Amino acid sequence: MPSNEHPGPEPSAVRYVADAVVPCTGDVAVYRPGAVEVTGDRVTRVGTPADLRAGGRPDTRELAVDGALLPGFVNTHCHSAMTLFRGTGENLPLLRWLTGVLWPREAHLGPEDVYWGMTLAAAELLSFGVTTTCEMYFEEDANADAVIDAGSRALLTPGVIQLPGSEADGSWWTDSLDRFADFHARRHGQAGRLEVGFAAHAAYTVPLAGLVDTAAAARGCDALFHLHLAETSDEADAFTAEHGGSVPQVLADAGVFDGRVLAAHSIWLSPEDIAVYAAHDVAVAHCPQSNAKLASGIAPIVDLLAAGVRIGLGTDGPASNNDLDLWEELRLAAMLARLRGSDAGALPAAVALDLATRGAGAAIGRPDLGVLAPGAMADMMAVSLDDPAFVPLLDDGMLVEHLVWSASSRLVTDVWVGGAPVVVDRTVQTVDVDRARDEVGRRAARLASVGT
């Protein structure tokens, strides 16, 4: 910095005082009452109101918040712009749905379609308290524009995929990787709310060489590599026959797992595959509702956690879920884990909540997300406690239990991203929802007509 320039004034501090604060840090369950201090876009202090008032800056502005403050949820796997395809191709298994319904329509997508699909999704996500998503979709610049305009936060991982009917020879993915690298150079870090990674759709749509090259491109940018893996019981049959091993084992041997890796779904894993994940620190995006709706299976979440694998919850896209409500995922994740293991104590409420908050941030390599702690991003939601769902509330532990088993997204009243209010009194401030709904409806009708 030149000697004649000086830093600007220090950002003002705001102290939010709530009936309770659930920091989701893994060490402190609840402050009741609680307070969170925010300076700029970061959390600076968390604790009881008395403690924060005693040691706070004298110019700190104090605001009262009705209910409980939680960190914003992190959706670790989504194709949010697929609001354009919600309700299409119902009652089909995954591969028939992809090849017969979704991909023919996606072949006709344009940038404005994706912009409005993502814009409507952002409004839905924010209203549920989901402040960050990890996205895998086309038209990456349009997706980025929608995230920036909506005031939300996203890790965008445009994906290598060869759609049916497209012609490609040799290393057809090379052009995509060049484009993704340029996208990373231009937009990674934009507004402090965009992160850019790389994705390859799956081992059944991208050759092994393409997976290796995409993972290497991600490592070259110190970026996340994101893929679908082990989603259905038979998707890997051809791959295994060709390469002589399971997909996780072959990818690990090929160096695909050498960087930051997020494997979505990860249902059909052997104990040996889980050991590969743990040895290479592969994170998992667990999508229980989409997996159940498509009858894909129940992921071995308890076994993965026991092996030390990082796990976060995801909704998958709104065409296979069909909503973007992470509150439903955390409850269903716990229920399915108990069914799979015939164990009513599997995945307790605090662990399920962790999968939508701290665990989800860790899964995408962002420990500053999904927690209310000094240095974390000031992404928060307020949840009303003035509801029968929280009666009785006899102790702090019951608050966490009620959040998972009794509460829902309907109780989210206010949301902040980087300290900026994006939902106030249940109304999204950053998106013209009526226009977005109209735009998506008209574009969805057009895509349905050309994709049949």
The answer on 143 and 279 residing in a single domain is yes
pLDDT of residue 4: 45
The answer on 285 and 219 residing in a single domain is yes
Of 320, 346, 363, which residue constitutes the final position of a domain? 363
pLDDT of residue 103: 87
The answer on 337 and 231 residing in a single domain is yes
Distance CA 385, CA 399 (A): 9
Ramachandran region, residue 255 (left: φ > 0; alpha: ψ -120 to 50; beta: rest): left
Domain containing residue 61: 13-71+370-426
pLDDT of residue 3: 38
> Is 300 domain-assigned?
yes
Q: Name the nearest CA neighbour of 38 among 382, 368, 374.
A: 374
Sign, Cα dihedral of 297, 302, 303, 304: positive
The answer on 159 and 30 residing in a single domain is no
What value does the mean pLDDT take over residues 380-403? 97
pLDDT of residue 2: 36
> Is 65 domain-assigned?
yes
Checking if the pLDDT of 40 tops 70, the result is yes
What value does the mean pLDDT take over residues 180-190? 98
Distance CA 28, CA 259 (A): 31
> Is 4 domain-assigned?
no
Distance CA 331, CA 347 (A): 10
pLDDT of residue 165: 52
pLDDT of residue 1: 30
> Is 107 domain-assigned?
yes
What value does the mean pLDDT take over residues 198-223? 96
What value does the mean pLDDT take over residues 325-329? 98
The answer on 231 and 113 residing in a single domain is yes
Distance CA 12, CA 141 (A): 33
What's the Cα-to-Cα distance from 52 to each of 34, 49, 66, 226, rounded to whole Å? 9, 5, 18, 40
Distance CA 388, CA 347 (A): 24
What value does the mean pLDDT take over residues 47-74? 94
| CATH number of 29's domain | 2.30.40.10
DSSP state of 158: -
Q: Of 6-10, 64-68, 189-193, which gets the smallest average pLDDT? A: 6-10
| CATH number of 173's domain | 3.20.20.140
The answer on 110 and 194 residing in a single domain is yes
The answer on 35 and 79 residing in a single domain is no
> Is 5 domain-assigned?
no
Calculate what percentage of the chain has a pLDDT beyond 70: 96
The answer on 402 and 293 residing in a single domain is no
Tell me which of 261 and 96 has the higher pLDDT. Answer: 261
> Is 148 domain-assigned?
yes
Residues in Cβ contact with 141 at an 8 Å cutoff, skipping those fewer than 6 apart: 111, 183, 187
Question: With bands split at pLDDT 50, 70 and 90, how would you rate the model's confidence at 319?
Answer: very high
The answer on 306 and 225 residing in a single domain is yes
Question: With bands split at pLDDT 50, 70 and 90, how would you rate the model's confidence at 94?
Answer: confident
Q: What mean pLDDT, rounded, does the chain reach?
A: 94
> Is 449 domain-assigned?
no
The answer on 344 and 278 residing in a single domain is yes
Of 313, 339, 363, which residue constitutes the final position of a domain? 363
Q: What is the number of structural domains in the chain?
A: 2
CB 111 within 8 A of CB 139: yes
Q: Name the nearest CA neighbour of 211 among 220, 222, 202, 219.
A: 202
> Is 448 domain-assigned?
no
CB 359 within 8 A of CB 310: yes
CB 56 within 8 A of CB 114: no
